[in-house]
Every structure is written in C-alpha cells, then in structure tokens.
C-alpha cells in the first residue's frame, strides 16, 4: 500500500439524451471534439439516466449537512455523464443558477471535464458534465493501491491543469472555487482534466472553499472572496501535493522550502526519477504561487511557459504512465459478452432462460403477497404465459404476454424487461429492444445483462461505437459481480 492521507475536510471528488432539451450555442468549440451544445435537461431525463439517483451510481458526496452528490449516469443516446445534484437550499435564485451554468457551459476544451447542461425544476438544481471514468488525482496520488504516480505523470498533471486555467482565464472565467486534488479527474485515456464544477460557486452563501483554513489563500480569510490570484495560491498547494505525495499545509511547505529541507518535501517513492534541477524548479514555482502577497504570484500563462520545458516522456501515453488499461485496446469477453458482440441471439436466449428470475427474487416475493386478488392472479398468469412462450421460442407471444404484465403496473421486474428485450431482437425490433434493456438498467443499475442487451441492440441498430461502450460496461459489471458473488 502507498502513502495514506487522513483528510481534514469533507472532499468533493468530481469526476461521468439531448432530446427535448433547449440548446444554447457555445461561443467557442475549442478543441473538445464532437461535444454537444450546452442544454437544459428535464429532471425526468436525469432520473432515468441515473437509475432514479440510485445509491449504486454515487461517485462522490460533499459533506453531511449540505450534501451536493455526484452520480454517474447514461443519457438516452448512451453518452456517459456525471450529474451533480445540489442540496435544495443551494441556489434559491433560479435565474442566477441558470446564468452561471450557461456561462460555464459555453466553455469547451480538451483540458476540462466540460459542462454539458443543467436542470432547474422547482427547487432542484443539477449540473451535467462529461463523465471521467478514471477517478481523481487525490485517489491516484494519496490513496494509490498498485503503484505511486510517476514523476513524468505528475509533471503532466501540473501542465494540463495550468493549460486548463489558462484557457478558462482567456474566456473570462479566471475564478475557480476550491481548487484541490479532488477537482482533477482522469478521462478514458487517463489524461488529466479539470472539473467544470469548480467554475460554479458552491452555494448561495458564496463560500468558495470547503477545505480547512490551513489550505485557504490568506486574502480569502480577510475578504471571503476568490480572486484569480487565490486560484494561483491553490495551484501552489497542488504543486506541493504532486511533489510530496501528501497534502501538506502551505505554511509547513514554505518552512521546509526556506530551510532547504527538500528531502522532507519530496515523495520518497520518486527516488531516482528526477534531477535536482527539475525538483528545484518545481519547488520554485510552488513557492511563487504560495506568496503571501497576491500580486507576487504568477498567472496561468507564465505557469504554462515554465512547465513546458519540465515535461518528461512526452511520447509515452498517459494510460501507460498511470498503469491504467488502454481504453481502445481489446478486452476479454465472457461467453455472454461474446454472444452479444456476435448478436448470437440463440446463445443469449439459453443464458437468460437458465438464469431465470434469480436477479429479481425480491420483486417476485413482493408480488406473492398480493396474489389473493383476481387482478393479481391474472397479472401473474400473464407473466407465466410469457415465460412459457419465451422458453418455447414463441417470441411474438412472449412480447404480448410480458407487455400485459408490464402494463398492469403491479411490480417492476428487470428480468421481464430483459426477456422482452431479447424477444424484440428476435423479431427484428432493435429500437424497442434497446428501450427495454435501458429500462432493466433503470430498475437494476449494476445488472450486467441489461448493459449486454443494450450493446446487442445498439450493434443491431448500426451504432457500433455506442455498442462497444455498452459492451465494455457490461464486462466491468460482470467482473465485479464475479468478484463479489
């Protein structure tokens, strides 16, 4: 195990259906690829995307008194997203929230986990951003399990962060609230991105720092306001984090720097990975950022200039430096995953038939308590008839029977939706199959079969790339299930 850190504050790890949304054209598409324009989502869209804000989909929480919870989710078009749901007392001014979100949503850059949209219904306030699957800098720096972060990667993180701040500053968004190691997240290629959530204020009281006072810029303690120079101070604390592998209070770090005790400031895991000159230069940059007087701190542009010559192993990919599997590489498939990739519907049928209702026994039990009414008996009979038809591969009949059961609304069953999904596939109705597979996942968020059936339907619809994403998701869920039977 690597060095562990006991946090002095409640961290906020930030990480990840444009239909029926109100699009807003961005000022600048930047270098962000094919991201959609910022838009407003309905609460129902986000409820479906997160499987009803299921606890299984929580990727971060912020405090207990005023929780702002972040969920991973999947939109109707299969785009993976991170959904931040604010505490209901936050952002009472609807218009202020919308204006702030829209302004941040105009930003589009490959160094950001970009804001895709928001939701503002009643007293609900939610933000929707790109989902970053490879966790936070804090996780990789402080709580690593397999390997400590390499020196070259730490320098890359510093550089990417400086570039993100330079971009935001150039677009008139120089203020970043509570910049810390939980705000840096890693995308599917293990490249570092700055979470867009920190570009929004945290709550109605305007507080911009959740960390303890030891890490707060000195001027913030006087005025309670964030300035661009405050962000540079926080950048300095991050440079100390990267150098030390620990979250050292700035005052202590400056004492070590003044005493030239750089050995105490440097992560022992980095021994032999960098020269004294490189280490000294990073320490010099950190101390400049941590100057007491705000005007003496550098700006993002000068930080980028200073960090460019320090970059190492630039030809090596981030996922290789991080020891994270390449997202574009082939991944091993189980027999079910392979059947879905090949659209071998007969093999999928055999697996579903053998599995039975193992994955929703709780729901079936709930039904059994209500069986004494005639209506319940009819509902149960329609399910039984559907199962008989499914077993005998009479898929049109199975669709009719399962539809009667589902439409009765007596109970929800992920297995029934999965079986009807496959029946639709057998009848060459892949769009209906996709809808049912997604509904199965809404009911049971971590059920691998729901993801696998989505993959099959997407591939049948000719949406190969999205199908591959769903297939990988199913593989990950199945592996987790096998690890924890």
Token pair 């029934």: residue: 416
Given the residues 34, 123, 178, 259, select the one marked as catalytic.
Answer: 178
Distance (Å, whole) CA 301 – CA 318: 23
Using only C-alpha atoms, the chain has a radius of gyration, in whole angstroms, of 25
Long-range contacts of 464-472 (CB under 8 A, 24+ apart): 466/77, 466/78, 469/78, 469/80, 470/78, 471/333, 471/337, 471/340, 471/341, 472/331
Distances (CA, A) of 142 to 121, 270, 408: 38, 14, 51
CA dist list (Å): 460 to 7, 235, 334, 341: 48, 48, 20, 10
Q: How far apart are CA 418 and CA 405, in angstroms?
A: 13
Q: What is the DSSP string of 281-327?
A: HHHHHHHHHT-SSGGGS--HHHHHHHHGGG---TTS-HHHHHT---T
Residues in the chain, total: 485
How is residue 159 annotated by DSSP? H
CB distance 97 to 125 below 8 Å: yes
CB distance 119 to 112 below 8 Å: no
- 34 noted as active-site residue: no
Supply φ then ψ for residue 466, to 5 degrees: -65, -35
Query: What's the rounded Cα separation, in Å, for the pair 318 and 324?
Result: 8
Kindly list the catalytic residues.
178
């Amino acid at each position: 195990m690597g060095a562990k850190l006991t946090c002095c504050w409640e961290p906020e790890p930030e990480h990840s259906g444009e239909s029926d949304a109100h699009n807003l054209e961005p000022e600048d598409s930047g270098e962000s690829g094919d991201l959609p324009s910022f838009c407003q989502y309905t609460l129902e869209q986000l409820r479906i995307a997160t499987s009803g804000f299921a606890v299984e989909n929580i990727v971060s929480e912020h405090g207990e008194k005023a929780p702002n919870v972040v969920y991973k989710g999947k939109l109707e078009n299969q785009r993976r997203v991170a959904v931040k749901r604010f505490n209901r007392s936050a952002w009472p001014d609807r218009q202020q929230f919308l204006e702030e979100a829209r302004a941040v949503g105009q930003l589009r850059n490959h160094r950001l986990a970009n804001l895709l949209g928001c939701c503002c219904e009643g007293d609900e306030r939610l933000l929707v951003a790109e989902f970053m699957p490879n966790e936070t800098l804090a996780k990789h720096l402080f709580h690593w399990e397999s390997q400590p972060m390499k020196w070259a990667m730490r320098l890359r993180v510093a550089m990417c962060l400086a570039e993100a701040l330079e971009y935001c500053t150039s677009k008139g968004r120089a203020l970043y609230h509570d910049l810390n190691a939980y705000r840096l997240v890693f995308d599917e290629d293990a490249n570092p991105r700055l979470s867009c959530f920190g570009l929004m204020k945290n709550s109605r009281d305007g507080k911009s720092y959740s960390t303890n006072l030891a890490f707060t810029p000195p001027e913030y303690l006087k005025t309670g306001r964030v300035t661009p120079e405050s962000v540079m101070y926080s950048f300095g604390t991050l440079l100390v984090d990267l150098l030390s592998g620990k979250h050292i209070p700035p005052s202590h770090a400056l004492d070590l720097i003044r005493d030239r005790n750089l050995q105490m400031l440097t992560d022992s895991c980095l021994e032999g990975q960098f020269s004294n000159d490189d280490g000294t230069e990073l320490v010099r940059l950190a101390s400049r950022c941590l100057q007491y007087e705000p005007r003496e701190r550098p700006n993002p542009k000068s930080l980028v200039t200073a960090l460019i010559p320090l970059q190492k192993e630039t030809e090596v990919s981030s996922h290789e430096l991080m020891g994270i599997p390449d997202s574009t590489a082939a991944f091993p498939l189980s027999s079910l995953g392979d059947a879905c990739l090949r659209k071998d519907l007969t093999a999928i049928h055999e697996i579903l038939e053998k599995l039975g209702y193992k994955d929703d026994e709780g729901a079936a039990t709930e039904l059994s308590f209500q069986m004494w009414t005639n209506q319940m008996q009819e509902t149960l009979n329609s399910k039984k008839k559907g199962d008989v038809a499914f077993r005998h591969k009479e898929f049109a009949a199975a669709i009719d029977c399962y539809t009667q059961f589902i439409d009765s609304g007596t109970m929800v069953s992920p297995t029934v939706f999965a079986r009807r999904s496959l029946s639709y596939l057998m009848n060459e109705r892949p769009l209906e199959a996709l809808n049912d597979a997604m509904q199965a996942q809404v009911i049971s968020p971590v059920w691998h079969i729901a993801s696998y059936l989505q993959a099959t339907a997407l591939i049948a619809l000719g949406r190969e790339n999205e199908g591959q994403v769903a297939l990988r998701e199913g593989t990950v869920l199945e592996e987790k299930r096998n690890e924890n039977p």
